[in-house]
Amino acid sequence: MDTTRLVEIDGGYHVWTRRVGEGPIKLLTLHGGPGASHEYFECLEQFLPQHGIEFYYYDQLGSYFSDQPDDPSLWTVERFREEVEAVRRAWGLEDFYLFGQSWGGMLAIEYALKYQEHLRALVVSNMAASIPSYVRHIHELRSRLPGEIVDRMLAFEAAGDMENPEYQDLLQEHLYRHYICRLWPWPDAVVRTFAHISAPVYNTMQGPNEFLVTGTFRAWDRWADLGRMRVPTLLLVGRHDTMDPADIVEMGHRIPHSRVGICEHGSHLSCWDDQESYFGHLVAFLEDMAAGRPV
């Protein structure tokens, strides 16, 4: 049975949550962005409930289904981490599974470093251990494009003209369709997510777009802290991701109890463009952890 609940958080704001299915494995999802929505996670409904995996949609503050206050001071990593804890308490989740994708993976790492006593296991999907690592890789990806394309992009960026339709078309054609989601046209749930993204949250924390990171979390770096993560952890990445698969493999070496799954045909949204591999890794990990099998 699906159940929707508005959870009150600090400041009197409310965030939208929904439970999908019923089962012994309880998985709280953290969407990307920042400022995206749960909508692109709709594909989880096709793969998880039939395996006894009860999962929770959750739109973070500022996102489409939740309150959208006009207060830039709210858009911090630390405040979002405490928001996750408020959602956990509201649903009474203990010994639960936390799943974060992209920015949600970054948030999941932050939550685990402070609150891992509540976690049975962790899934970090399509997220490196630092923003500088991510930036290095996306610059490398762009450097593979023809020089005239790169020069044209750089000219728009130097002029601060990132909303120019030509610039947006260049992003879509040469980067997004290859490294964000390789299905074309994009699935409706992905289109809706991008249409509903909260510009105030995204622009404040990330910057103008996926390939230009100028926001407040640009210095985030947890490489040195990965060894403190003691919960079993699954790390997922697409071979054609905006995150470097080599970084995710290195994360697996540093996190004591971890497993790495590489989706060979997938991109940043490998939950859509390489579903057989992605959900094969995810379901097997969750079932193994529920059964007490080793990582």
Active-site pick, 37, 63, 102, 130? 102
Choice among 268, 273, 274, 281 that is catalytic? 268
Q: Is 270 a catalytic residue?
A: no
| Identified catalytic residue from 59, 67, 241, 273 | 241
Mean pLDDT of 220-225: 98
Q: What is the pLDDT of residues 101-134, one digit of tens each?
A: 999 999 999 999 999 999 999 999 999 999 999 9
Mean pLDDT value of segment 227-241: 98
Residue 102 bears catalytic tag = yes
Q: State mean pLDDT over 61-85.
A: 98
Task: Show the beta-strand stretches assigned E in 206-251.
Answer: 233-238
- What DSSP element (H or E) covers 85? helix 77-91
Once rounded to an integer, what is the mean pLDDT over residues 182-210? 96
Q: What are the angstrom distances between the C-alpha of 274 and each of 150, 234, 236, 270?
A: 28, 17, 12, 5
pTM of the predicted model, to two decimals?
Answer: 0.97
Positive or negative, the Cα torsion across 280, 283, 286, 292?
negative
In one-letter notation, the amino acid at residue 140 is E
The arrangement of secondary structure in 3-290, i.e. its CATH architecture, is 3-Layer(aba) Sandwich (3.40)
Q: Is the pLDDT of residue 212 over 90?
A: no
Q: Annotated catalytic, 241?
A: yes
Q: What is the mean pLDDT of the chain?
A: 97
Given a cut of 90, whether residue 55 has pLDDT beyond it is yes
Q: What is the predicted pLDDT for the residue at 249?
A: 98
Sign of CA dihedral 212, 216, 219, 221: negative
Q: Calculate mean pLDDT across residues 285-293.
A: 97
User: Could you give the CA distance from residue 194 to residue 174 in angstroms, rounded to a whole number?
Assistant: 17
What is residue 208's DSSP assignment? S
For 77, the token pair is 């990593």
pLDDT of residue 211: 84
Residues 221 and 131: their CA atoms lie apart, in Å, by 6
d(CA 236, CA 260): 6
Percent of all residues in the chain with a pLDDT value above 70, rounded to a whole number: 99
Cis upstream peptide for 146 (omega within 30°): no
Confidence of residue 1 (pLDDT cuts 50, 70, 90): low
